[in-house]
Amino acid sequence: MKLFIVLLGIFFVPATMSTRCISGCACSDDTPCEYYCKNKTCRDRIELHEPCEGHDVHPRECGGSKYYDSSSMTCEHTKINGYMCAVSYACDSEYCDLELSTCQRNPDKSLKSSNRSFSVYICAPIVAVLVVTFLGILLRIYKRHTLARQATAWYPTQTPYVIGTSGHVMPFGNRAAFA
């Protein structure tokens, strides 16, 4: 169980942690900030329908599920496939078909990239736990086999002997020696 917790910490925690500052840290641009930098301080994301400065100025200022709407100059929810769009960052799929002016499935994103996070953060710890459990079972079988060999010694005559607790060797069939 302890090993599972350690493996969970190794694989899952880094996937959920962020090294960027959410708000209040000193900054010179958006890079160290989770959302955006303004007046040399990291700021939290702007809430829905609140005014913002725009995607070209601060691409992350509205947060992950919102985008900068240039017509209202506010943060709005990103759109699902089939809804009207003018820019790709307005779509959940991050792809706006400019000929149709609608959000579409992103042809650049393959299933491999979305399945990678599942395989790395979910399947890898499970496989690691199973491998460690299997190795533990093999080790336990080996130890039991080794103890059994130590308890019964076979000599060239192929007659089994038992090694007693005091170190005396006694024939296995000699019950009188135990009385």
Return the domain boundaries, the chain: 110-151
What is the tens place of the pLDDT at every residue in 95-118? 999 999 999 998 877 544 455 566
- The Cα–Cα gap between 85 and 100 comes to 9
What is the tens place of the pLDDT at every residue in 40-95? 998 888 888 888 887 777 778 888 778 888 888 888 889 999 999 988 888 988 89
- Contact between 171 and 163 (Cβ < 8 Å): no
Give the per-residue pLDDT at 125: 84
Backbone angles phi, psi at 29, to 5 degrees: -150, -175
Please list, in sequence order, all residues whose beta carbon lies within 8 angstroms of the beta carbon of residue 113, skipping any fewer than 6 positions away.
none
Residue whose structure tokens are 């060999």? 149
Mean pLDDT, residues 155-160: 54
Higher pLDDT among residues 166 and 18, named by residue:
166
Q: Give the lowest-confidence range in 24-28, 105-109, 119-123, 126-130.
A: 119-123
Give the per-residue pLDDT at 69: 84
